[in-house]
Amino acid sequence: MSRTTGTEITREELKVFLEEADEQIGLLDRDIVRLETEGDNPDLLQEIFRAAHTLKGSSAMLGHECMAELTHAMESLLDGLRNRQIVVNAEVIDSLLYSLDVLKMLEEDLASCKDGSLVDISLAVARLESATERARGVVVPSLDMAEADTVSMERAGKHESAVGNSLAGTDDDHGRMTISANQGGHTSFQSVRVDVRILDNLMNMVEELVIDRSRISQINRVLESRYAGDELVRDLSQTSNHIAKVINELQQDVMQVRMVQIGTLFGSFPRLVRDLAQKQKKRVDFVMEGEDTELDRNIIEHIRDPLIQLLRNAIDHGTENPEEREAAGKSPMAAVKLSASQEEGHIVISVEDDGRGIDIEAAKDVSVRKELISAEEASRLSAAEAVNLIFMPGVSTAERVTDVSGRGVGLDVVKANIEKLNGTIMTESKSGEGTKFIVTLPLTIALIQGLMVSVDKTIYVMPLAFVTETMRIEPQKIETIRGREVIRVRDYIAPLLRIDGAPCMKTNGLSSGDKGFVVVARYSDISVGIIVDELMEQQEFVVKPLSRYLCDVRTLAGATILGDGQVALIVDIPTLVRMSAYQRQ
C-alpha cells in the first residue's frame, strides 16, 4: 500500500472519508477529555476505542498510511485501557490529545487536497507508545526527539516491533471489530447533507401553501353556505380539509429539518475548557447539560462564538486558581457548567461558574472612568443593574490581560451578536460565589411570537419578547418633559414613541389619543411606550427579510406574510429603544 494522494482516489471517496473522519474526530474530541474523570467507564473506553478503530480502518482503506499508523498507535493504547492493562493518567490523556491534534492536521491537509502532508506523526506515535509502556509499569527512559525518530523508523520497517507482543494477541479482535464498527456506522449515521438554501426555498414554498390553505378554506366556507347539501361541495370541503392537514404536517417537518441538536456545537467545548484551564493552571470540572436541545441551524451557526467567549470569560475571570479557592474555603476544583434547555418557546443557554463573582465596584469604577456613566448614576445603580455594566464596550474588571479575553472587548460583542438573533443575555453574580450568564434565544429566527397591532390602517408585529404590557391611552395621564410626551407606567416614566421612531411632541400630539393604545416595550432596562391605534391578536409569525433595498429602514426587523397574503412589518424594538435613548441625550 503506498501513500495515496488526491490523484488516485476519487473525489467522492475522499468526501465520504472526510465526512466519516469528521464524525469520529468530533467524537474523540468530546470523549477523550471525559476520560480524565471517567477513566474507568467501560462504555466510554469502548466508544473511544471504536472511533479510533474506525478511523484506522477507513484511513487504511484510503491508503493514508500516516493516518493509519497514528490511529493504530492510539488504538493500541486505548485497547490497553479497555482491557485494564493500563490505567488512565495525565500522560496518557496528553498523548491522546496531542495525537488527536495531529490527526486533525492530517485531515485538514487531506481536505484541502494538499499533495503529501508535511505533518510529522513520529512524535505523536512515540508519545503514545511511551505513555502506553510507562502506564504498564515498564520503565522507559524519558523521551527525546532522537529517540522518537528511531522509534518511528523501526515502525516504518516492521510494524509490530515497538509495541511488541501485547499487540499480537489483539489482532484477531481488530478484524472482528472492523465489521461490527462498520455496521454500526451505517445504521446510526443515516443522514443527507442538504444545502441550506434549498431548505429556505422549501420553507418559502410551504409558507405559500399555508397561505393558500387558508384562502381555500375561506372559499370553501362560502361555497358551503351558498350550495348547502351539494355533494360536490361536500367532496371539495373534505379534500380541502385533507390538504390542510397534510400542509400542517409538511410545515412541521420542514421546520424540523432545520433543527439541529446543540450537542453538535458543544462537542469541541470540553477540549477548549481543558486547554484554557491547563494553561492558567486552574482545575476546572466542566459539565454540559441538555446537549439534545434542538435549535434552528441558523442560530447554531451564530451562537458558537458568543458561547466560546462566555466560556473563556468563565475560566479566565470567573474561576480562581486552586490556592485562591482553598484560601476562600472552596474546593480547589472549580465548577463550570454549560447547560441548554427549552423553556416555553425559547432556548435558554447558561454558562455558570462557582468562582469569585463579578466585582461590582470595579465595574462601576471602570465605567465612570471611561465616562460611560456619571459617578452619580453609578451610585444610584442597584447591584443587579451594576452587574450588567460588564456588557458596556470597554468595561472589563479583569486584573490582567490574557491572550483570549480581558481587554474589555468581548462581552459587548457577545451581547450584540445575541441580540442580532433576537435573543437576550443577562448576568447574575454573587461576590465570592460565582457568576451565571443566561442567554435566551428564540427557537428559530424564522419564527417569532408577536403581537399584531394596527397604526394608520397598516398592520405591524411587535415581537412579544420585548413587550412588557399594553394599556389604553388615557389623555390625562400623558405628561410632557421638555415638550416630549411621556407616560407613567407604574413607578417609571416611559417616553412615548411612534412606530417610525419619531418621538411624540406635544404640538402634533395625540389628536386620536382617546381611542389609542400604548404598547410598553422594554429593552436593556429602558422602557418606551409605542402608540398604536388598535391591538390585535398574538400569534406566531414567520420572519422574512426585508429586501436589501430597504436595509436602512432601521426600525424594522423584517416582514411577515399574513393569512390573507398581505405583508405586515415587524418592528425592531431594540433599535427603536436605542433611537429613543439617543434622542433623549
- The bridge status of strand 484-489 relative to strand 447-455 is unpaired
Would you say 458 or 468 has its CB closer to another protein?
Answer: 458
CA 84 → CA 28, 46, 132, 197, distances in Å?
Answer: 19, 12, 12, 49
Residue 566 found at the interface with another protein (CB under 8 A)? yes
Residue 549 found at the interface with another protein (CB under 8 A)? yes
Considering only 324, 544, 578, 581, the residue that binds another protein (CB under 8 A) is 544
**Whether the Cβ atoms of residue 494 and residue 529 lie closer than 8 Å to each other:** yes
Give the number of residues in contact with another protein, rule: CB under 8 A: 33
- Backbone φ/ψ region at 197: left (φ over 0), alpha (ψ -120 to 50), beta: alpha
Residue 563 found at the interface with another protein (CB under 8 A)? no
Residue 567 found at the interface with another protein (CB under 8 A)? yes
Considering only 22, 94, 108, 208, the residue that binds another protein (CB under 8 A) is 208
Residue 197 found at the interface with another protein (CB under 8 A)? no
Residue 278 found at the interface with another protein (CB under 8 A)? no
b/e per residue, 284-318, with b = 16+ CB within 10 A? bebebebbebbbbbbbbebbeebbbbbbbbbbbbb
Considering only 337, 555, 578, 581, the residue that binds another protein (CB under 8 A) is 555
Considering only 205, 246, 287, 384, the residue that binds another protein (CB under 8 A) is 205
Contact letters (x/-) for another protein, 499-538, by CB under 8 A? Answer: xxx-------------------------------------
Contact letters (x/-) for another protein, 404-443, by CB under 8 A? Answer: ----------------x-----------------------
CA 448 → CA 193, 382, 421, 466, 541, distances in Å?
Answer: 27, 32, 11, 11, 5
Q: Minimal distance in Å, beta carbon 423 to another protein?
A: 14
Q: Minimal distance in Å, beta carbon 368 to another protein?
A: 30
Specify the 3-state DSSP secondary structure of 406.
coil
Amino acid at 550: L
Cα(71)–Cα(66) distance, integer angstroms:
9
**Whether the Cβ atoms of residue 455 and residue 497 lie closer than 8 Å to each other:** no
Chain positions 99 to 158 lying near another protein, rule: CB under 8 A, are none
Nearest to 427 by CA among 291, 326, 317, 297: 317
Specify the 3-state DSSP secondary structure of 292.
coil
Residue 96 found at the interface with another protein (CB under 8 A)? no
Specify the 3-state DSSP secondary structure of 381.
coil
Which of these segments, 242-250, 278-286, 303-311, 551-559, binds another protein (CB under 8 A)? 551-559
Considering only 73, 77, 559, 577, the residue that binds another protein (CB under 8 A) is 559
Which of these segments, 80-88, 246-254, 476-484, 555-563, binds another protein (CB under 8 A)? 555-563
**Whether the Cβ atoms of residue 417 and residue 302 lie closer than 8 Å to each other:** yes
CA atoms within 13 A on the CB side of 483: 6
Chain positions 292 to 311 lying near another protein, rule: CB under 8 A, are none
Q: Minimal distance in Å, beta carbon 440 to another protein?
A: 19
Interface positions with another protein (CB under 8 A): 204-205, 207-208, 211, 420, 456, 458-459, 499-501, 544-556, 558-559, 561, 565-569
